[in-house]
Structure 1
């Protein structure tokens, strides 16, 4: 194997290398002047092919294998530009302002419009992430920040345009327009200008957006991206430059019809020559070069790789690598090399591992990893995590770099992609077996692979009947347990395969996920059944309401009657409470006389009805209950309500105040408020309706306190001994902020301890009486508490308590 450094080219103090990825390419197409779009990492290449008998957009892999051919009619419009998003969606910009976004490397597309005026046409387009900026023939700039938003316009107005470009950094989009030896920088809110002494014919930015390369007819200028500082200037001899791109963030590459010139920060440059025109695309870690016959990758040689491979290098990693050759020759020099590099052995191992990740040749990868393994085997402590990770990733990379796959991804690009991103790319290419093997190797879940395979199977199996196809799919999906059968069922339904949709949906383990699709497919009865089986009350309510709004009332009630008691119960309890009229309609439809009577009474209870109407409702319900053994315990309750209603009617006439809307206990409270001082009628009512003395006292005391009838409350307290004590009287007065009234009842609280009475006195500020309670029991601690509560400013209380303490001794 030749040393990789033999293909390096020095540029100032660093090295660059141009490496073949695929040669020759497996296509039969002429690039020439056709629009060409190279994706990120060159895993997909789109070419507008107008030379064949059928005009088309052909999509190839990096090795030139045809992935898809999208027929293109001239009536579709003239293509201005094409580009790829990070998710391998092909964006095609047409002259009439239409944008088509092709997904998953297929012919399926979404179409967007820029809403241009009738006479406007698109002349040029630039792309950023999921957005696009176009230049019209009216020198107007229109852009999408994302394809879900309305097109917006830059306000910049210039007379002429020499060149333009965009920079998207830190979520800010900047427009750079060269006009009349000046560059105008515009955002949505600001505009600035920078003057130059010469015409700028090209503007490009590196992937990190830190610098700008400005092309003039004679020179290349490197500046900071804000154009405030000019860093270097290089004279070129090209009359016709086809393209200018950055090689990562380090060097600028100028492309002509047969040459690439790489220009570094200083005055140095290196050139590469071609027989055909090279197409170039900047990458985060280098530059992709596409020609008629091959795909190449230009990149800067990393420092650790340079130390390892540079001829004559005495760095530790170079010596460690040489040890492998010595081992293969069974030379004792291998051990000698280890002794030489032992002080720097960790660095040598690290550099060999990282150099392996940079190499494309599997033989050199293996040799470098052998060197690393040999070195770390004599280290006492070394983490093999990076070594194992790079070994695994290189095995994956070598698999996808095969020409039949055509994804020549670098190690840095893989880290940017992520394993899941790589799997998705393989799925888009329908390489399900390879994707599955990689998932198994990396211990990833393969669910999205199985889902994509089943989805494609449904869409492409035209000649297989639904039952047979479902068996094929279910047999394959038995290998995984995390696939969404609901999603596959929806695909089948959208493809018009209803039976297949039902067969797949039956295997969805989460019943809640089945219901929305069943409703969408018109399987209303089945949707209601599945929601019942799920036990999710909210879901059942949602289904019932959707069916209520979908069908006529009679159809809805028929569907409800055919359901289980679960749905009927939820309809009555939840929906019926919100829509009582709907519940009554259901009872009429089902001839449920008892429920009709109950529902009428329940609805009437929410309104203030006259006694006669309420009596009729109760009599109606009593009649419905008669002879029904199930309701025999409810009959006395109805009769008790009738008795209460009759008595309330008597009270209404006597006091000229309606009692009809009150309950049994509420009637006591209202009656106590209106009754005489002796509460004669109140106590009579309590006796007739069997209300306990405890309930009576609680209701009367609360009612009189709230209505501030203090004299009547005091008379009630003295009328006879309270069965609930007198703390209740104190508490209700205290809640009304009537401390004087509350104090009248503390002395009556004989059921309380002296400490509890003292506490009540303290609450209303009667410190003297609290002190008396403590003095009677000779409680010095309580006297001290009263003194502290009263405060030192209350001189009289302080002296009184000191006197009590002295007497107690």
Structure 2
């Protein structure tokens, strides 16, 4: 242990630099540097606080992310994102992951005269040239979209940062918006920027260092404000949270503020830094040859020394990445929960819980007793949060084991175990990502999010990695996106595969998706369509699970018949109707008729929609041999024209073409009967001198009754076999209609009525002939005494009602009638009293 602390002390004060860089060998053939690194790694794994540095009341630490062989060329231009590095090497822009594996090498000649390149928030490479800005949307294969300056702009691009463009001559500020470059702010001589380090932007705000003043530009509002006057600064760095760091090269002066009215810190540096970056979002870091210094208030700072020369710096949401010639390091703040757990001499609950885990094997009783003395819930929470901050797998495992040990003594009401499960899930994912050579912290992953990470990998055509990640987090929502991107790439870049092979491959993967995860085919269909693979497009359209989109895709291919069949399968009249209207607009009548004949010969939807267009229906029924419908249409037309008779031969001819149909047989018999009626009516017209044309049989019979043509009436009844009961109803109606009341009564009493006498009463009452109706009440034998009284009262035949009640010796009924008698008719009341006195 004594030797270990000697190594640590020596490392902290730098005298070992020489022996580390020179490959001195020990007796076991291992380099002194290797032994030193192993010892330090062992110490840090046991207690990571051994390499912490304290700035004010906050600890910072440096950890290695991975090894990386950085190019040693001078004046190297580069751009760094959270997952990849772009380096300009001679005639190429080469993109690597953090382990140095090349993703793509882009020939610079495609862009011409590259001014600047950087990664945007979605980790797309943005390349600025004098007259355009290009966004590389895909690495494998290379795909990009270019926005060019308008021809009206008589200037060229000078610099580009975070979506903002500054012009060469005017120094006007433009903004990259989607697929265009738009003017944001005209300079008009307000400021002068001498170098490209005299301005910076974070996408929300920009700081401009004029020769004498400092300006702040709110990008969303396009509003410029002077925040410092008569102040000379030469470099500016903006944090994501709008903290501003200014540096004066002449005096090596550093100043940090968020509002110019309140300076947060000022430092005068001993030498000019090679780079100034934000460590996280609130600490400024300066990079020197082999050292990084973090500055705090009151002239305080901490330093981190590196064995190799520092090549590049990159700000992350939770720290600072330092790229040396041989590795990628990560400087970050030590969060409170981690400090509580690992700080030397800590008596916090999480530290005691971790110690209790170590004590568990030797003295389980003592370990469990320790749990009773601490805030166990806080201890478990701190250990879980600390595990999410660590990069070392062994430390993560220790912390999660301690959390698991502690939460076993907590009830579900006190502690939500989902926090532990979620931490395990995200750390398992980060371990997988590290194995896939993607190095992320929990905060970086939370910022990028799972969809963002999938998008980054799809840009490299790494579909298998995407699926592995989705399976690791048990999240399948991104599978449709992955499948769609894979299928599109398959179609675009499989030039030697035929449509059948591509369809089989895509179909197989489509059906391998989980049942509850559905992927739309529309984007894949459009790709196949634009690639001229129409057979593949048709098959893909039929694979689409959304019927509306399936039909739309088939229509795009002019597969009208297939689209109609798909619509009919849905049994949705609205969908089929809209489709038919679409056909009416783009097809000729002959094409439409052929389509309908082939695909919907028995459907009634089309005739229903166009029921008012008789000409269209006539052609349709004729071409489809729908004789019955055509006959009905002819009858309807003849009725509307008032000339049914002249069209009946056509109808009979159409009916004659249909065999073994009972309904048609009945209709034919009715037509023949109608012809006999017309002949009979012509005879009546000739004999009686009155027109019987266009009358129905019932109307003809009524007219003969009204004319008192008994002979012709009987002839009609016999010839057309009119039922006696029907005859009675027709005659009652005809006589009442013509007010032939005497004839009606004689007809009623001439013989016993086969329909009874109630129809006489009801027909007269409907016409309002109450007095005449009352005559027939006494003839009705099928109703009760009480019903007869009610009928008399309705007819206002009060005297007959009184006589019937008196006859029945109904005192109660007479009393009720007394109440209903008109006040101005005392004779009726007297009659009632007379009957009551006799009972």
Normalised by the shorter chain, which TM-score bucket?
Answer: 0.5 to 0.7
Assess if the C-alpha contact under 8 Å between 2:137 and 2:143 holds in 1: yes
Give the aligned partner of residue 374 of structure 1: 405
Give the aligned partner of residue 344 of structure 1: 375
Give the aligned partner of residue 256 of structure 2: 222
Q: Could you list the runs of 5+ residues in structure 2 that have no partner in the other structure?
A: 1-41, 656-663, 679-729, 738-763, 771-792, 797-818, 821-839
**1:724, 1:140 → 2: CA distance?**
96
**1:177, 1:637 → 2: CA distance?**
102
Give the aligned partner of residue 251 of structure 1: 283
Deviates more, 1:545-554 or 1:288-297: 545-554
Secondary structure, aligned partner of 1:79: coil
Secondary structure, aligned partner of 1:512: helix
Label 1:338 to 1:417 Cα distance change in 2 as closer, same or farther (>3 A): farther
**2:628, 2:650 → 1: CA distance?**
5
Assess if the C-alpha contact under 8 Å between 2:277 and 2:313 holds in 1: yes
Give the aligned partner of residue 551 of structure 2: 515
**1:692, 1:72 → 2: CA distance?**
107
Assess if the C-alpha contact under 8 Å between 2:212 and 2:232 holds in 1: yes
Check if 1:316 corresponds to 2:349.
Answer: yes
Check if 1:16 corresponds to 2:60.
Answer: yes
1:458-516 alpha-carbon deviations (Å, 9 max, x no partner): 44444444434444444444432334363444444444444444444444444433222
**1:87, 1:391 → 2: CA distance?**
27
1:123-150 alpha-carbon deviations (Å, 9 max, x no partner): 11121xxx54444432111113x40566
Give the aligned partner of residue 199 of structure 1: 232
Give the aligned partner of residue 151 of structure 1: 182
Label 1:634 to 1:517 Cα distance change in 2 as closer, same or farther (>3 A): farther
**1:418, 1:724 → 2: CA distance?**
85
User: Aligned match of 1:94 in 129, 147, 157?
Assistant: 129
1:281-308 alpha-carbon deviations (Å, 9 max, x no partner): 3222122333443222221111111121
Give the aligned partner of residue 37 of structure 1: 79
Secondary structure, aligned partner of 1:220: strand
Check if 1:416 corresponds to 2:460.
Answer: no
Assess if the C-alpha contact under 8 Å between 2:279 and 2:318 holds in 1: yes
Label 1:521 to 1:614 Cα distance change in 2 as closer, same or farther (>3 A): closer
1:378-428 alpha-carbon deviations (Å, 9 max, x no partner): 3455332211211121111011012xx221110112223334444444444
Secondary structure, aligned partner of 1:343: coil
Assess if the C-alpha contact under 8 Å between 2:167 and 2:173 holds in 1: yes
User: Aligned match of 2:97 in 47, 61, 71?
Assistant: 61
**1:582, 1:152 → 2: CA distance?**
58
Check if 1:531 corresponds to 2:574.
Answer: no
1:546-580 alpha-carbon deviations (Å, 9 max, x no partner): 444444444344333332236x6433333x36977
Assess if the C-alpha contact under 8 Å between 1:59 and 1:66 holds in 2: yes
**1:230, 1:457 → 2: CA distance?**
57
Secondary structure, aligned partner of 1:111: strand
Offset at residue 11 of structure 1 (A)? 1.6
Secondary structure, aligned partner of 2:374: helix
Offset at residue 120 of structure 1 (A)? 1.1
User: Aligned match of 2:432 in 380, 390, 399?
Assistant: 399
**1:191, 1:724 → 2: CA distance?**
92
1:73-110 alpha-carbon deviations (Å, 9 max, x no partner): 25x32222333334333222222133334236641122
Label 1:545 to 1:312 Cα distance change in 2 as closer, same or farther (>3 A): same
Label 1:154 to 1:602 Cα distance change in 2 as closer, same or farther (>3 A): farther
Assess if the C-alpha contact under 8 Å between 1:598 and 1:621 holds in 2: no
Give the aligned partner of residue 607 of structure 2: 572
Secondary structure, aligned partner of 1:562: helix
Give the aligned partner of residue 185 of structure 1: 216
**1:579, 1:115 → 2: CA distance?**
55
**2:736, 2:378 → 1: CA distance?**
93
Check if 1:78 corresponds to 2:113.
Answer: yes
Give the aligned partner of residue 384 of structure 1: 417
Assess if the C-alpha contact under 8 Å between 2:279 and 2:316 holds in 1: yes
**1:258, 1:638 → 2: CA distance?**
114
User: Aligned match of 1:625 in 638, 651, 674?
Assistant: 651
Offset at residue 584 of structure 1 (A)? 6.7
Label 1:268 to 1:693 Cα distance change in 2 as closer, same or farther (>3 A): farther
Which of the pair has more CA radius of gyration? Answer: 2
Equivalences for residues 643-658 of structure 1 within 5 A: none
Give the aligned partner of residue 48 of structure 2: 4
Q: Could you list the runs of 5+ residues in structure 1 that have no partner in the other structure?
A: 606-612, 643-686, 695-719, 727-748, 753-775, 778-809
Assess if the C-alpha contact under 8 Å between 2:206 and 2:217 holds in 1: yes
Give the aligned partner of residue 734 of structure 1: none
Check if 1:295 corresponds to 2:328.
Answer: yes
Equivalences for residues 654-669 of structure 1 within 5 A: none
Secondary structure, aligned partner of 2:115: strand
Label 1:242 to 1:475 Cα distance change in 2 as closer, same or farther (>3 A): same
Label 1:580 to 1:318 Cα distance change in 2 as closer, same or farther (>3 A): farther
Give the aligned partner of residue 282 of structure 1: 315
Assess if the C-alpha contact under 8 Å between 1:597 and 1:620 holds in 2: no
Secondary structure, aligned partner of 2:79: strand
**1:519, 1:215 → 2: CA distance?**
64
Offset at residue 256 of structure 1 (A)? 5.0
Assess if the C-alpha contact under 8 Å between 1:57 and 1:69 holds in 2: yes
Assess if the C-alpha contact under 8 Å between 1:89 and 1:105 holds in 2: no
Give the aligned partner of residue 340 of structure 2: 307
**1:164, 1:93 → 2: CA distance?**
16
Assess if the C-alpha contact under 8 Å between 1:77 and 1:96 holds in 2: no
**1:273, 1:306 → 2: CA distance?**
22
Assess if the C-alpha contact under 8 Å between 1:308 and 1:315 holds in 2: yes
Assess if the C-alpha contact under 8 Å between 1:594 and 1:624 holds in 2: no
Task: Return the TM-score normalized by structure 1.
Answer: 0.68
1:616-658 alpha-carbon deviations (Å, 9 max, x no partner): 7x6775564344445659979999xx9xxxxxxxxxxxxxxxx
Give the aligned partner of residue 294 of structure 2: 262
Offset at residue 365 of structure 1 (A)? 0.8
Label 1:448 to 1:193 Cα distance change in 2 as closer, same or farther (>3 A): closer
1:152-197 alpha-carbon deviations (Å, 9 max, x no partner): 33144324125233455xxxx5443222322233454644322334
Label 1:439 to 1:723 Cα distance change in 2 as closer, same or farther (>3 A): farther
Assess if the C-alpha contact under 8 Å between 1:122 and 1:136 holds in 2: yes
Assess if the C-alpha contact under 8 Å between 2:199 and 2:208 holds in 1: yes
Offset at residue 111 of structure 1 (A)? 2.3
Assess if the C-alpha contact under 8 Å between 2:147 and 2:181 holds in 1: no
**1:417, 1:486 → 2: CA distance?**
27
Secondary structure, aligned partner of 1:439: helix
**2:448, 2:532 → 1: CA distance?**
36
User: Aligned match of 2:207 in 169, 176, 191?
Assistant: 176
**1:193, 1:184 → 2: CA distance?**
4
Label 1:12 to 1:518 Cα distance change in 2 as closer, same or farther (>3 A): same
Check if 1:48 corresponds to 2:88.
Answer: yes
**1:346, 1:159 → 2: CA distance?**
57
Offset at residue 242 of structure 1 (A)? 4.9
Task: Return the TM-score normalized by structure 2.
Answer: 0.66
Secondary structure, aligned partner of 1:78: coil
